[in-house]
Amino acid sequence: MFVSDRRASPAVAPPRGRERPRIEARADASILHADLDSFYASVEQRDDPRLRGKPVIVGGGVVLAASYEAKAFGVRTPMNGAQARRLCPHAIVVPPRMSAYSEASKAVFEVFRDTTPVVEGISIDEAFLDVGGLRRIAGEPLDIAQRLRARVRDEVGLPISVGIARTKFLAKVASAVAKPDGLRLVPPSAELDFLHPLPVERMWGVGDVTARTLHEHGITRIGQLADLGENALRGFLGPAAARHLYALSMARDPRRVETGRRRRSIGAQRALGRRARPADEIEAYVHGLTDRLGRRLRTADRVCRTVVLRMRFDDFSRATRSRTLAEATDHTDTLLRTARQLLADAMPMIEERGLTLIGLALTNLDDAYAVQLTLPLEPRATNTLDTTLDDLRRRFGSAAVTRAALINRGEGLSVPLLPD
């Protein structure tokens, strides 16, 4: 049995200032990672029989999803639509239907929660499920996973891949290896045999930059990383990344499947294509993104402290700019004022490098009721412009009221999310 790199401590509250005791990893493979295959494209193929078995691309300017038939030609998300059509000229391009994807997600999560009460949603198309306590009433985890896949296929009409392992990390890797429409069990006795031959890109925390660094040092497989050891990794990855990646390479991941977790951040973005956009048009899109995120904050009774501007440029490089506010807020004007200042500061870079995507994220979230109140000591006034606009949009749709700057430009796609 593998455990965390520190010996597990008794479950008592640690003295103030000391490290929390680490949670001991379980001994059996009873964590499921369930991941719908090419979710948007699968919903389109389910709803239109003419698309089944055909290469399908969801989204025009930017690829939001691609069927496995299209992926076979190299189409990936979020690839530029023109590039995707060059790779797969006979692909069928369909517009996204966000409401259909949201309904399909709700139906799948009903199956998840009917399988086990311990469900941790990651996104609208994937979740972790803990089935360790269901043996007496539902059988072994492998049997539960097989029934889960059959129910999603029969009741919702969608393919789903499931990984089963002792840890969340291994379960997620197993589901990715099982794709498309597969099932993979990683027994505790075979964890390293399964994990070590895989490329380092399979590991959480290994993006393009880290992968490039590892490759430069001759490390392409997880087993090579494990053989090198944590001390050697520190020299070119730093202590935190070295500790994290070495632990994963040895199948150490004591995190539990948690229910009721709230988001740490929310975000929205808008693809712009490669055509040059004037500054006022970009600013209009930032207005729209701010309105959308402010509405989501208030609906979830959250407030935020940090506003993050995200940019992708014509050479596919990315950059972010952020600002932390003095007080947490859900006030749209405050958020917009901060976002506009970030955009103004970044505008010289945008003009020089060209902008293909603009995004906004709100981080350092907290519950609205946890914030210290100011006079007149009301948690949230009910007669403000924000609440009036929220009510109108809730009753008549998100496009019922829009900013003048967005007329003829639209608010862009709103991607469905799990409830917060």
pLDDT tens digits, 259-300: 877 778 888 888 787 778 888 889 888 988 998 898 888 888
| DSSP conformational letter for 80 | B
Percent helix, percent strand, percent coil in the chain, to nearest 5: 45, 20, 40
What's the pLDDT at 376?
A: 55
pLDDT the model gives residue 11:
38
Q: Could you tell me the sign of the dihedral formed by the alpha carbons of 293, 294, 298, 302, in that order?
A: positive
Q: Which residues in 98-134 are b (16+ Cβ under 10 Å) and which e? A: eeebbebbeebbebbeebbebbbbeebbbbbbbbbeb
35 annotated ligand-binding residue: yes
- For 388-397, letters b (16+ CB in 10 Å) and e give ebbeebeeee
Distance of CA 356 to the CA centre of its chain: 21
- Burial 300-323, CB ≥16 within 10 A → b, else e: bebbbbbbbbbbbbeeeeeeebee
pLDDT in tens, 213-271: 999 999 999 999 999 999 999 988 899 999 999 999 999 988 888 887 777 888 888 87
Q: What are phi and psi of 121, to 5 degrees?
A: -70, 135
Highest mean pLDDT among 102-106, 205-209, 366-370: 102-106
* Closest listed residue to residue 132, CA positions, set 121, 118, 152: 118
Residue 187, SS3 per DSSP: coil
Please report which confidence band the pLDDT of residue 331 belongs to, taking 50, 70 and 90 as the band edges. confident
The pLDDT of residue 108 is above 50: yes
**Is 84 within 8 Å of 75 (Cβ atoms)?**
yes
Residues contacting residue 168 through CB under 8 Å, at least 6 positions apart: 31, 33, 128, 253, 255, 257
**Mean pLDDT of the region 138-156:** 95
Q: How far apart are CA 110 and CA 152, in angstroms?
A: 10
- Is 314 annotated for ligand binding? no
Residue 319: name the closest of 273, 272, 355 by CA. Answer: 355
Asked if the model's pLDDT at residue 38 lies above 60, the reply is yes
pLDDT, position 420: 56
Query: For 372-386, what is the mean pLDDT?
Result: 57
pLDDT score recorded for residue 268: 85
Strand pairing report for 183-185 and 65-66: unpaired
CB-CB contact of 254 with 356 (8 Å)? no
Number of C-beta neighbours around residue 218 at 10 A:
8
* Residue that has been written with the tokens 């973005």 in this structure: 269
Angstrom CA distances, 219 to 202, 213, 223, 229, stand at 13, 9, 9, 12
Dump pLDDT digits (tens) for 158-202.
999 999 999 999 999 999 999 999 999 999 999 999 999 999 999
Structure confidence at residue 27 as a pLDDT band (50, 70, 90):
confident
- CA separation for the pair 152, 162 (Å, rounded): 11
Q: 61 pLDDT band (50/70/90 cuts)?
A: confident
With a cut of 50, say whether residue 13 has pLDDT above it: no
Using the structure block, give the residue that is written with the tokens 């799948």. Answer: 108
> What count of residues does the chain have?
420
Token pair, residue 283, equals 């600013």
Residue 81: what pLDDT?
84
| Percentage with pLDDT > 70 across the chain | 81
Q: Is the pLDDT of residue 409 over 60?
A: no
Q: What average pLDDT does range 9-33 have in this prediction?
A: 57
| Residue 379, pLDDT score | 54
pLDDT at 80 (0 to 100): 81
Catalytic residues: 126
Instruction: Please report the domains of the chain, with CATH numbers, ordered by start residue.
Output: 31-185 (3.30.70.270), 190-250 (1.10.150.20), 266-406 (3.30.1490.100)
Report the Cα 76 to chain-centroid distance in Å. 16
176's CB contacts (< 8 A; 6+ apart) are: 35, 161, 163, 202
The mean predicted confidence, pLDDT, of the chain is 84
Cross-strand partners of 362: 266, 307
**Residue 36 bridge partners (DSSP):** 160
Whether 6 contacts 103, CB under 8 Å: no
CA-wise closest residue to 100 among 157, 55, 180? 157
- Nearest CA among 207, 195, 176 for reference residue 2: 195
Give the pLDDT confidence score for residue 393 in this predicted structure.
63
